[in-house]
Amino acid sequence: MSSVPRLVVAAPSSGSGKTTVATGLMAAFASRGLAVSPHKVGPDYIDPGYHALATGRVGRNLDAYLCGAELVAPLFAHGARGCDLAVVEGVMGLFDGAAGEGELASTAHVAKLLRAPVVLVVDASSQSRSVAALVHGFASWDPEVRIGGVILNKVGSERHEALLREALDQSGVAVLGVLRRAPQVVTPSRHLGLVPVAERRADAVEAVGAMAAQVREGCDLEALLALARSAGGLEGAAWDAGEALVSSPPPPLPSPTLGFARPGGPPSSLGAAPPDPPVALARSSSNAGRAEDVAAGLERAVVAVAGGAAFSFSYAEQVELLRAAGADVVLFDPLEDEQLPDGTRGLVIGGGFPEVYGAELSANEPLRKAVAALAGSGAPVAAECAGLLYLGRELDSLPMCGVLDVSARMDERLTLGYRDAVAVSDSVLAEAGSRMRGHEFHRTVVEPGAGAVAAWGMRTPVRRLEGFVQQGVHASYLHTHWAAAPGVARRFVERCGAA
């Protein structure tokens, strides 16, 4: 059971100030000497970087769509183990979740799964008495969601604050903080949201300090801590990478290809489309056993994991699973390192912003050649989104690694959303027929969009083939959370040992 005190910071809509308040609270409590566990609802990679700066601990995501509702509390308990307090930043508006799926993956859904009180951050810049109606509506919409208080953001003056407080006196919801307009807290954004911490560390440290100062000045920290301590206990064990690797999953589904349209072409007709599975996620097959036995018969293969400013998108559990599966994980920076780590047997390249650093990545020809040579040897290579672009022939006309015969370019249209996918071919990550949920988040296009052997059959929002399987390479736009399918890590490391 986890009894860590916890708060969920939510808002009526995006842009209300959740990140400022949540990050400021994390930093303010951490500065008091509390061990604060930072969490983010949803798939976002960028906010957890700011959370990590604020707390000195890894920021972790809680996503009921990617991982399944049953893993939210165990993953929370894993991250919050030994902490004095956990602060969970919500996503979008409080009740906004996966499109067409009701409350699934919404902040409200996660708050209920965590039995945590919610602090509602309201942008009060253009209202006075109406704030009471808004807060009343959110507090009464779902009786299972406990709104423990409100923090008023972007308040213009003492007079404005007085009007807001007077209105809220009648709502029965406590005012736990009032934040005035503070331009110095604004953090720079670009085409995919906030600029990641990895690209602006000094400025980001300053911004987090400003958030903490604003929260300390405007919020009742003692009342917020008392509210956090009112959270109910969570039953069940914390998630553990080693134990997850030896769990017994359901068998894979039949290979599904019929009805998946190839980009720019007719639907494929290689087999029967699968029925909906009885479980939310299918995992690669495994034999149950003790966690310490998972890596017992495996050579500790070196798995290089790309990082740095160009490839800053990853979930902490991915590396934890790779290590638990027997890998010697070594991080490297494609902007700085001209060679892969010594003895590399497998390569993982996650998401990020290669389009911003295209010239620098292209100029690092020694590393591009090393990546191409590794892939050409048949070694396992897993690439998501930014990794896909890097493995291509060119990005915005700049030479990349040339592992895949694809051309990538920036695009004005934002591709964003959850995806339900199924592996259409055997690969280093999955058996054909394995079901996976993921998300897409990019403003780029690759041509073609799928290889002769595709990685995934996307079931939502339209049925299509996507991605590339080529020798040991698995490359796709789909971001996945490996905690949902631990067998992915085991399968990848096993193939590293065989490479």
Distances (CA, A) of 433 to 96, 253, 455: 30, 5, 11
Which residues are 422's β-sheet partners? 435, 457
Distances (CA, A) of 351 to 291, 322, 358, 422, 447: 29, 17, 14, 20, 18
Residue type, 287: N
Q: Which of 83, 219, 385, 401 is catalytic?
A: 385
CB distance 174 to 150 below 8 Å: yes
CB distance 352 to 326 below 8 Å: no
Give the residue among 69, 144, 76, 135 at the shortest CA–CA distance from 101: 69
In degrees rounded to 5, what are phi and psi of residue 126? -125, 30
CB distance 108 to 72 below 8 Å: no
CB distance 252 to 285 below 8 Å: yes
Positive/negative CA dihedral, 407, 412, 416, 420: negative
Angle between helices 107-114 and 69-80 (to 10 degrees): 70
Active site residue 385: yes
Dist. CA 492–CA 114, nearest whole Å: 32
Report residue 110 as tokens: 């996660």
In degrees rounded to 5, what are phi and psi of residue 209? -60, -40
| Coil, helix or strand at residue 477 | coil
Q: Is the peptide bond before 461 cis (omega within 30 degrees of 0)?
A: yes
In degrees rounded to 5, what are phi and psi of residue 228? -60, -35
Query: Strand 85-89 to strand 6-10: parallel, antiparallel, or no bridges (unpaired)?
Result: parallel
Give the residue among 188, 149, 3 at the shortest CA–CA distance from 86: 3
Dist. CA 95–CA 116, nearest whole Å: 15
Q: Which residue in the block uniquely carries the two structure tokens 């500790």?
A: 300
Which residues are known to be catalytic?
A: 385
